[in-house]
Structure 1
Amino acid sequence: MSPEHGPRRSRVIMVEPALTQLAKLTASETHRLDRAIVAVSVNPELGTEVPGTLLRDYVDAIDGVRVIFYVTALRTVTIVAYVEA
């Protein structure tokens, strides 16, 4: 028997505004943000829809991070548009 696999993760791509913000973060902030990005790559339904767009706004109040992203139609790629920690 084959082992049971966890949820499939999408590939994550960061666009320029997110990369600019990422460059300003400390190691601790980056670590907290990594957990949020993994969460949205596994579950693209996290967060709330931004009205009138394809974007979703995910805030993790415990880790104090925010990720604005959208997912491709086949849910194989998550595009991160903005991050803050």
Structure 2
Amino acid sequence: MGWGRGVVLVEPALSQLVKLTAVESHYLDRAIAAIRANPELGAPISETLLRDYVGDVDGVRMIYYVTALRRITIVAYVEA
């Protein structure tokens, strides 16, 4: 997975990651690239800093937030 700098996965995202197939991992790569390009893609989750992103084409879902300086995306949950 080639996310480069700036993307951190935490539990339970890491435990979900090992369950993904190669195709699902590819979908996740595309979703992370899209969010890195536009961190506001996901819908805000009320009363939190979290955002909920669901890919239109491949159905990947991620719960994430972006740090204040927009340098690091913290992924809290992954579903493919």
Structure 1 segments, 4+ long, off by >2 Å, are none
Structure 2 counterpart of 1:48: 43
The letter for the 1-side match of 2:64 is F
In the TM superposition, 1:9-28 aligns within 5 A as: 11-28=6-23
Structure 2 counterpart of 1:67: 62
Which structure 2 residue ranges, 5 or more long, are not aligned? none
- 1:61, distance to aligned residue in structure 2 (A): 2.4
- 25, 29, 43: which one pairs with 2:24? 29
Q: Is this contact kept in 2: 1:18–1:81, CA < 8 A?
A: yes
Provide the secondary structure at the position in 1 that maps to 2:14. helix
Q: Is this contact kept in 2: 1:10–1:78, CA < 8 A?
A: no
TM-score normalized by the length of structure 2: 0.90
Provide the secondary structure at the position in 1 that maps to 2:33. helix
The letter for the 2-side match of 1:11 is G
Aligned length: 77
Q: Is this contact kept in 2: 1:10–1:41, CA < 8 A?
A: no
Report the identity percentage.
66
TM-score normalized by the length of structure 1: 0.85
- 1:64, distance to aligned residue in structure 2 (A): 1.4
**Aligned residues: CA RMSD:** 1.4
Larger radius of gyration: 1
